[in-house]
Structure 1
Amino acid sequence: MSTLTNMRKRYLSDPAFKMFKKVLPPLSDTEREAMEAGSVWWDGELFSGSPNWNTLLNYPKPSLSDEEQAFIDTKLKTLLDMLDDYQIVQEDRDLPPDVWEYLRKEKFFSLIIGKEYGGLNFSAHANSTIVTSIATRSLSAAVCVMVPNSLGPGELLSHYGTKDQKDYWLPRLAHGDDIPCFALTGPEAGSDAGGIPDKGVVCYGEYQGEEVLGIRVSWNKRYITLAPVATVLGLAFKLHDPDGLIGNKTDIGITCALIPADHPGVEIGERHDPLNLAFMNGPTRGEDVFIPMDWVIGGQDYVGRGWRMLVECLSAGRGISLPALGTAVGHLTAKTTGAYAYVRKQFGMSIGNFEGVAQAMGRIGGYTYMLEASRTLTTSSLDMGEKPGIVTAIAKYHMTEMARTILNDAMDIHAGRAIQLGPMNYLGHHYFGMPVAITVEGANILTRNLMIFGQGATRCHPYVLSEMEAAANPDAEQGAKEFDTLLSKHIGFAIGNVSKSLLNAFSGSRFNRSPVSGETAVYYRHLSRMSRALAVAADFAMLSLGGELKRRELVSARLGDVLSHLYLASATLKRFEDEGRQQDDLPMVHYALQHCLHQCGVAFDEVLSNFPRKGVGRLLRTLLFPLGIRYQAPKDEITVKIAELLMTPGAHRERLTHMCYVGEKENDPVAIMERAFIAMHGVKDIERKLAKATKSGEIPRKVSLTEKLQIALSAGIVTDQDVEKMHNADQLRQKAIQVDHFAAAQFKKGSLQPGKAA
C-alpha cells in the first residue's frame, strides 16, 4: 500500500468511515427491500450530474403491436361507444350490465395476463393507452378496468404464483369468470403499507373435512376498489408463527394470500361513495378466518415476502394506471377547452382571445404535451423490463397534480358551463375524480415528501448505497477497505460536480454538450447544469444532515422537485425527437422546458433559503448559483401562441388530443362541442366580413345575428349560401354552450343511508 493511500486512509477515509456509521440513516428491512425491489433507470443518469442525453434519445420509441392496435381500433372503440358517463354516475351508480359483460368477454380485465392462460399479454404502453382512452370518456369505467391490470391478484399470481395457482386462477381471471380485488389499505394503514395491523397466525384447522396446515387471519380493510363485486380477494396481512410450525421465526412478516369471496367468514359487498363517482369501492372484513397454507400467493415458500412483492408490483402499476388518468385529463381538457374558448363569445369575440384566458389555455396545452410525453417515456421503461420505483413515483405524483391544475383551469374557462351537472357536462365527473387518483397508492404528500428524493438520494446516487452497505459490513476491516475505495471515487465525483457547477454558473451552461441542434439544444445544456447542481446539493444534504434528512421532509421534497422536473423535461425532449421534431409543437415544448427549469430554480431557492444548516445553505448558493437563479416562468408570447393552437383545427391539435374520445352519436357531449368548433371555424371568413361592415357602419352594432345577416345580404356583403352556413354554425354554437336543466320534481332526497364505519 502506498504512502499516499495510507495517509488517505488514516486521515480521511477511516474518520469518515466512523462518522458515516453514525450519521447515515439506518436502513430498515422494509426500506432495504423497497430499494432492492426496484431498478435504477434514467433517474440514475439525472442524479449523476452528467446525464448522457444520447442514452435517453436511444431508448425505444413507444409503439403498439398490430394486435394491440387492432384491439384499440375495434374492441376499445366499441366499449367507448357503449359508455354514457352521466347514466353511469348520476343514474345507475354502476356500469350497465352489458358493459360489465363486454369487459369480461373481450378480456379488458386480462391485459397483463399471459396468453398461455387466455390473457392478452399487452405491453405497458398498450395498457396505459387503453386506460387513458377510457378515462377521457368515463373515469368510473377506467378505474374498473385499470385495477385488475395494476396491483392485484392477476399481476401477483403472474409473477409469484405456484403452478397450481396460476393454472387455476389465471384462466378464470382472463376470461372474466372471476373479478379480483386486492385488500391492502385499512383504517390504521393507508400510505404506510408496512404498518398494516391485519394479522394471521400459523395453525392447523379444518378445510374440506380434513385437518390441514394453514393460517387463521383477521382483517379490516377499506377503500378497496372492486371489492363490492369481487369474487376473489387478494389480502395482505402480517403473519406470525408463535408455535414454530413452519420455522424458527415468530414474526414472519407481510404475506399475501388469495381468498374466494364466498369463503366462510369473508365480509364483502358493501360500498363506499368515492366523491359521488360510480366505480365499485368498499370495505372488507374477516375475523379468525381459517385459510389453507396453499392459498398464500407463491405457497409456503413465499410467506413473509409480501412487502417485496407489493413494492415491485406497486412500482409498475404506479407508472401505468394513475399517470394514465392524469394524461386523460390533459387530452380531454385541451380538446374541449380549446373548442369552447373559440365557440364561446364575450364582448363580440372568442373568450380565448382574452389574455387571461389564454394564459390558462397555455398551461393546459403545455402540461398536456408534457403529460403525454411522461406517460410514454415511463411506460417505455416498463416495457424495457425496468422497475424504476423513483421514476414511477415521479410520474404518479406530478402527473396527477398537473391534471388537477389543468382541470381547475378548464373549469375556470368553462365557468357555468362546467359546474352544472348533466349529460352535456364532460368535465364535472373528472373534477370529482382527480382527488381520488391523488390519494391512491400513497397520498401525494407522502410521495413527494418521502419517496422521490428520500429513496432516490440513496438508490440513484452512484456511491451512497454502496457506502452504506460497506459501513454496515459485519467484517469491519473489509468494510473499511471497501469504503476507502468508494470514498475516493465519491470525492472525485463531488469535486468534479462542484467545479463544473461553478463553470456552468459563470458561462451560462454554454460549454455543456447537446445531442441536437436547433431551438431545443439550449435546454439540454441547462438541464445538465441542473443535474450537476442536484448532485452537489444531494451530497451536501446527506453529509451535513445524515439521518436527520429523513425527518427534514421539506428539504427532501424540494430536492425531489428538482429531480422530478428534470425527468419531466427529459420526457418532453424525448417526445419531440421521437415524433420527428414537429415544428408546430415547439410552443408546447418551449412552455414545458421553461416551466421545468423555472420549477427547478424555485425548488433550489427554497432549499437554500431554508436549509437547516444555514452555513451550508449559503455555501451551496455560492457554489451553485453565485450570479443568482435566473430561470423564468414560460414567456407570455408562448402561452398566447399555445392558446391560438388549441383554438385552431389541424394536425397539431390532433397530436395533442388524439386520445380524447369524440363520439359519433348526436348527443355525445364532446362531439357537440367539437362539431360547433369546426363549424364556427368554417364561417370565420363570413364573420370577418360582418365585423368589417359593422366597424364601417354598414351594419348596426346592437342587432341580432339574423338581422345582421339580412342587412349584409341586402348590401351584397354576403351570399344566400353564406347566410345559411352562418345560421347552421350558430345553431351548433348555441347548442354547445347550453347546460342541462331538469324539472324540479326530478330532485329527490338522496336515499344513501351509511352503514357502520369500516
Structure 2
Amino acid sequence: MIGINAHDFLEVDRELSDEERAIRDAVRDYAGAELLPHVADWFDAGTLPDPRGLAKGLGKLGVFGMHLTGYGCAGTNAVSYGLACRELEAVDSGLRSFVSVQGSLAMTAVHRYGSPEQKDEWLPRMATGDALGCFGLTEPDSGSDPGSMRTRARRDGDDWVLDGTKMWITNGSVADVAIVWAATDEGIRGFLVPTSTPGFSANVIHKKLSLRASITSELVLDGVRLPGDAILPGAEGLKAPLSCLSEARYGIVWGVAGAARACLTASIDYAKHRVQFDRPIAGFQLTQAKLADMLVDVNHAMMTALRIGRLKDEGLATHAHVSFGKLANVRAAQRVAATARSIHGANGITLEYPVMRHMVNLETVATYEGTAEVHALTLGRALTGLDAFR
C-alpha cells in the first residue's frame, strides 16, 4: 500500500475524460507554479497585490466563464469547471473566489440575462481578464434573506437611479462593472453598473481574519444614474440572482474538496517527518486514526463533487443537489482542516504550512453563498415539501 494516492484513494479521477484530465493538469500546474509560491505572503498582507495581473494570467489560462459558450468563453462541461475550482482552492479559497465571482456570478448573470449588446460589450473582455466584474446582492442587513434588500432602483424619465449599500463583495474595489440587484416597483431587477459611474464607490473591508488573499468591499450607490438599457432584460425576480448563486455554489462543492486535499497531503508529509519520542508521529495510533478520518472525508468529498458534476452535465442537477454538495463538502473540509491543524501542533498556526490558512478560509466559505443552516433547510424542503424559512 506504500505510495498510494491518498487524496484520490478511490481513484475517482479515473472517471475523468482525457479532456477533463488535461484541464485539471493545466490548472494544477499553473496554480502550483504561479500562485502557490506567493499565496502565503498575499494572505499575510491581507490583499491581492496585483489583481489586474492575476486576472490577465487566469484569463490566458481560460478559467473565467469557462463553462459558458461563445464570447471568447471556453464552453467546457461542468465537471471541467469543477476541477478548475478544485485545483485553485487547493492553493487558496480566495483564488477560487476570484475566479468564481468573475465567471459564475458576474459573467453568468450577463450571459444568462443580458441583452445582446451587453453580452458583446462585457463578456469577451471579462473572459480574457481585461475587465473585472463583481456581484452586488448581499447587504449589511440582508444576507440569508436577499428578498429583504433595501437597495432601490427608481425610474426617472428614461433613466434608472440606484441608492443603497452592498456588503461583502469580492473584487468590489477593483471591478470595472458591478452586477447590482435592486428592488423596483416591478420587483427585484439586475443592473449593469460601470464602476466609474458618478455616485458609485467601493470601500475595501480590512481587518479580516479569513479569506485574506482576496479583496472584499462594501459598495455604496448614492444616486447612481444609469441609462434605461443598463437593466438586465432577462432578469426578473429573485430567481435570477439565486440561479447565479447556484452556479457559484457548485464551484464551492469542488473547491473545498481541493482545500481538504491540500490539508491531508500536508499532514501526511508532516507526520512522516515530525519526530517525537524517537519516532515519526505518523507511527502513533492516534495520528493514524486522524489521517484515516481525513482520508475518508477527502475522498467522500471528491465523489460527491464528481457525481453532482455529472448530474449537472446531464441536465439533472437541481439547486437541492448543489445544496447537498455544499453542506456536505464544506463540513468535511472543515473537519479535515481542523484535524490537520492538530497534527501540525504549534507549527500549524504559522503560514509556513497551509493548514491554518485553509482552516480559517473555510470559515468564510461555510458562510457565504448560503450558510449551513440555509442549505439544511433547502434539503428539508426538498424532503418534506414544506418551507421552514419563514
Residue number in structure 1 paired with 2:208: 274
Question: What SS is found at the alignment partner of 2:173?
Answer: helix
With structure 1 as the length reference, what TM-score do the two structures score? 0.47
| CA deviation vs aligned residue, 1:407-436 (integer Å, no higher than 9, x gap) | 111111111121123xx2221211220001
Q: Does 1:224 align with 2:169?
A: yes
- Aligned-partner Cα distance in 2 for 1:69–1:367: 22
8 A contact 1:201–1:215 mirrored in 2: yes
Question: What SS is found at the alignment partner of 1:410?
Answer: helix
Q: Does 1:454 align with 2:381?
A: yes
- Aligned-partner Cα distance in 1 for 2:40–2:339: 22
Distance 1:110 1:409, change over 3 A: same
What is the letter of the counterpart of residue 157 of structure 1? V
Question: What SS is found at the alignment partner of 1:110?
Answer: coil
Residue number in structure 2 paired with 1:133: 87
> How far 1:327 sits from its partner (Å)?
0.2
Query: 2:363 aligned to 420, 435, 452, which one?
Result: 435
> How far 1:400 sits from its partner (Å)?
0.7
Q: Does 1:359 align with 2:289?
A: yes
Residue number in structure 2 paired with 1:550: 388
What is the letter of the counterpart of residue 176 of structure 2? T
Residue number in structure 1 paired with 2:66: 111
8 A contact 2:27–2:88 mirrored in 1: no
- Aligned-partner Cα distance in 2 for 1:229–1:323: 26
> How far 1:222 sits from its partner (Å)?
0.6
8 A contact 1:156–1:313 mirrored in 2: yes
- Aligned-partner Cα distance in 2 for 1:347–1:270: 48
Question: What SS is found at the alignment partner of 2:165?
Answer: strand
- Aligned-partner Cα distance in 2 for 1:99–1:256: 27
Question: What SS is found at the alignment partner of 1:289?
Answer: strand
- Aligned-partner Cα distance in 2 for 1:65–1:195: 46
Distance 1:90 1:200, change over 3 A: same
8 A contact 2:92–2:259 mirrored in 1: no
- Aligned-partner Cα distance in 1 for 2:288–2:254: 26
Aligned ranges 1:653-668 → 2 under 5 Å: none
| CA deviation vs aligned residue, 1:33-55 (integer Å, no higher than 9, x gap) | xxxxxxxxxxxxxxxxxxxxxxx
Residue number in structure 2 paired with 1:81: 33
8 A contact 1:235–1:256 mirrored in 2: yes
Larger radius of gyration: 1
Q: Does 1:145 align with 2:75?
A: no
What is the letter of the counterpart of residue 30 of structure 2? T
Aligned ranges 1:85-100 → 2 under 5 Å: 85-91=39-45, 93-96=47-50, 98-100=53-55
| CA deviation vs aligned residue, 1:239-270 (integer Å, no higher than 9, x gap) | 11xxxxxxxxxxx1111111111011111253
Residue number in structure 1 paired with 2:265: 335
Question: What SS is found at the alignment partner of 2:73?
Answer: coil
8 A contact 1:315–1:388 mirrored in 2: no
- Aligned-partner Cα distance in 2 for 1:373–1:434: 20
What is the letter of the counterpart of residue 259 of structure 1? V
- Aligned-partner Cα distance in 2 for 1:430–1:360: 17
> How far 1:227 sits from its partner (Å)?
0.5
- Aligned-partner Cα distance in 2 for 1:436–1:274: 10
- Aligned-partner Cα distance in 2 for 1:139–1:312: 22
What is the letter of the counterpart of residue 392 of structure 1? V
Distance 1:124 1:95, change over 3 A: farther
| CA deviation vs aligned residue, 1:155-196 (integer Å, no higher than 9, x gap) | 012222222221222112112221010000001100101111
Q: Does 1:393 align with 2:323?
A: yes
Aligned ranges 1:388-537 → 2 under 5 Å: 388-421=318-351, 424-448=352-376, 450-458=377-385
> How far 1:390 sits from its partner (Å)?
0.9
8 A contact 2:200–2:221 mirrored in 1: yes
Q: Does 1:165 align with 2:103?
A: no
> How far 1:122 sits from its partner (Å)?
1.8
What is the letter of the counterpart of residue 457 of structure 1? T
**Which structure carries more helix by proportion?**
1
Residue number in structure 2 paired with 1:259: 193
**Which structure carries more strand by proportion?**
2
- Aligned-partner Cα distance in 1 for 2:83–2:146: 28
Distance 1:153 1:167, change over 3 A: same
8 A contact 2:63–2:84 mirrored in 1: no
Q: Does 1:194 align with 2:168?
A: no
> How far 1:221 sits from its partner (Å)?
0.5
| CA deviation vs aligned residue, 1:355-405 (integer Å, no higher than 9, x gap) | 222222121011111010011111111111234111111111121111111
Q: Number of paired residues?
A: 373
8 A contact 1:125–1:383 mirrored in 2: yes
Question: What SS is found at the alignment partner of 1:137?
Answer: coil
Aligned-residue CA RMSD in angstroms?
A: 2.2
Higher relative contact order (CA 8 A, sep 6+): 2
Residue number in structure 2 paired with 1:102: 57
- Aligned-partner Cα distance in 1 for 2:28–2:276: 39
- Aligned-partner Cα distance in 2 for 1:127–1:550: 32
- Aligned-partner Cα distance in 1 for 2:216–2:344: 30
Query: 1:317 aligned to 239, 248, 251, which one?
Result: 248
- Aligned-partner Cα distance in 1 for 2:306–2:113: 27
- Aligned-partner Cα distance in 1 for 2:229–2:18: 37
Question: What SS is found at the alignment partner of 2:74?
Answer: coil
Distance 1:259 1:221, change over 3 A: same
Question: What SS is found at the alignment partner of 1:149?
Answer: helix
Question: What SS is found at the alignment partner of 1:397?
Answer: helix
What is the letter of the counterpart of residue 171 of structure 2? L
> How far 1:64 sits from its partner (Å)?
4.2
